[in-house]
Copies of this chain bind each other. A is one copy, B any other.
């Protein structure tokens, strides 16, 4: 546990948190042991098990109306506590599902056998996002155990499909609009800034994700007997991919940047003030050079500019040695990160148009959409944002930064558009926590202090005279 100033939460809450630390760690490990990979159908039962685990935890700590809600996909866990008369109502969001784990051989220890080493909890989902979900329940537990009440009204929405593009969530939110009434939403699924500096994410990128399947001949062909006379699906796929983004990192799809909101001088100054050291950043990633859209800094490229990446590609012979074939098919998984004000439907249309334009007539192809999410921006001067600044400052002892993260939390835009809720992104993951990669980890100092931040935040919000 980190050294924490005695005044950041009340003495009784602090005593409770100190007394329950071991039990808390054991419960966190138990949650991390559940392989709730939402994107792989074979793990559906694990996702349900995680939902049931979380629901049971919420019941035990004293939350009410706890329900594992059917969505048509992996369930949503709902709970509430609504006895803080006259105080704001906050919807709390985190997700219990996790990313796939391959390549498995790069993990130092099995992804679902959590281990703590040097203050790091190593496991798939340790940072993204079971830590945040677990911290919220622990904050509720500490408050309800010590005071018998929460300072604000809370509604909990813990999702199970965030890593699978939240396919069923929008429909569930729309169907449950009435019982989800609140003043604003707190979404906990974001990291601190480089160097583990406390930060509030005020910008998130949107996402489109699709699979491109290219088909040539009906069987793999001998590259000697047929090479030159028929097109090669891998070569064709590479041509298509190369026609989506130029070697300079700029996307070459006509109209792609049309709706992108330009950075203001003030915003560019704010990015510059964050003071990212490009050389340190480059060295930490082990790349020979950073690379991105000309005319923008690294943080601008990540926070304020859209991009296009192939997340996976495969086709033909992957074994050892030479095998001389023209494969029958080739495949790529492609994602675009979007920024305000890009519309995912419109962007997907532009991408599909460009593929149609450049795909050779000598192959067939199909596009399978695997989900998307809208970009989002939060005002820094909002009272609920400033309350978070105070809570972070009080508990971590430093002034938090405002950052625009390159990632996507599709739920953000859904809460805004479907439920009409302003959102605040309050996350505590270490920025180098290897989310989505082997050896994902959570800083246990961030975890412990973050629980105190959440307690303090509810106290701060309870004192706001307007939101």
| Interchain nearest-CB distance for A323 vs B (Å) | 5
Select A217's contact among B165, B287, B361, beta carbons within 8 Å.
B287
Closest to A339 in B: B228
Q: Is the beta-carbon distance between B313 and A316 smaller than 8 angstroms?
A: yes
Q: Is the beta-carbon distance between B319 and A39 smaller than 8 angstroms?
A: yes
Say if the beta carbon of A290 comes within 8 Å of chain B.
yes
Closest to A297 in B: B229
Q: Is the beta-carbon distance between B287 and A228 smaller than 8 angstroms?
A: no
Say if the beta carbon of A377 comes within 8 Å of chain B.
no
Select A235's contact among B309, B330, B407, beta carbons within 8 Å.
B309
Say if the beta carbon of A325 comes within 8 Å of chain B.
yes
Closest to A234 in B: B310
Q: List A residues 152-174 near B (Cβ within 8 Å).
A: 163-165
Q: Is the beta-carbon distance between B41 and A310 smaller than 8 angstroms?
A: no
Q: Is the beta-carbon distance between B292 and A228 smaller than 8 angstroms?
A: yes
Q: List A residues 119-173 near B (Cβ within 8 Å).
A: 163-165
Say if the beta carbon of A362 comes within 8 Å of chain B.
yes
Q: Which of the candidate stretches A46-54, A418-426, A433-441 sits at the interface with the other chain? A: A433-441
| Interchain nearest-CB distance for A95 vs B (Å) | 14
Say if the beta carbon of A64 comes within 8 Å of chain B.
no
Chain B residues contacting A324 (CB-CB under 8 Å) are 207, 209, 311, 335, 408, 436
Chain B residues contacting A320 (CB-CB under 8 Å) are 39-41
Q: Count A interface residues, CB 8 Å.
A: 105
Say if the beta carbon of A360 comes within 8 Å of chain B.
yes
Say if the beta carbon of A266 comes within 8 Å of chain B.
no
Q: Is the beta-carbon distance between B217 and A364 smaller than 8 angstroms?
A: no
Say if the beta carbon of A239 comes within 8 Å of chain B.
yes
Say if the beta carbon of A191 comes within 8 Å of chain B.
yes
Q: Is the beta-carbon distance between A285 and B221 smaller than 8 angstroms?
A: yes
Known: A205-B224, A316-B311, A337-B228. A332 touches B234 (CB 8 A): yes
Say if the beta carbon of A106 comes within 8 Å of chain B.
yes
Q: List A residues 271-325 near B (Cβ within 8 Å).
A: 281, 285-293, 298, 301-302, 305-325
Say if the beta carbon of A230 comes within 8 Å of chain B.
yes
Q: Is the beta-carbon distance between B330 and A291 smaller than 8 angstroms?
A: no
Q: Is the beta-carbon distance between B310 and A238 smaller than 8 angstroms?
A: yes
Task: Digitize A231-269: 1 where CB-to-B-CB distance is under 8 Å, 0 elsewhere.
Answer: 110110111011101010100000000000000000000
Q: Is the beta-carbon distance between A439 and B219 smaller than 8 angstroms?
A: yes
Say if the beta carbon of A196 comes within 8 Å of chain B.
no
Known: A219-B439, A317-B102. A322 touches B288 (CB 8 A): no
Q: How far is the CA of A220 from the CA of B107 in the complex (A)?
A: 12
Q: How far is the CA of A229 from the CA of B207 in the complex (A)?
A: 16
Known: A311-B325, A324-B311, A327-B311. A289 touches B319 (CB 8 A): no
Chain A positions near chain B (C-beta within 8 angstroms): 38-41, 99-100, 102-103, 106, 163-165, 191, 205, 207, 209, 216-232, 234-235, 237-239, 241-243, 245, 247, 249, 281, 285-293, 298, 301-302, 305-327, 330-333, 335, 337, 358, 360-364, 370-371, 405-408, 431, 434-439
30 residue pairs from A and B, CB less than 8 Å apart:
A39-B319, A39-B322, A99-B323, A100-B319, A164-B321, A191-B225, A207-B224, A207-B324, A219-B434, A223-B311, A223-B337, A224-B407, A225-B302, A226-B285, A228-B307, A229-B302, A229-B406, A232-B309, A235-B241, A235-B245, A235-B309, A237-B238, A238-B241, A239-B247, A242-B242, A289-B362, A310-B316, A311-B325, A312-B315, A322-B371
| Supplied contacts A41-B320, A223-B311, 15 more A-B pairs, CB within 8 Å | A102-B317, A207-B224, A220-B438, A223-B335, A224-B406, A228-B301, A228-B305, A229-B290, A237-B238, A239-B242, A287-B362, A311-B324, A313-B316, A323-B333, A324-B436
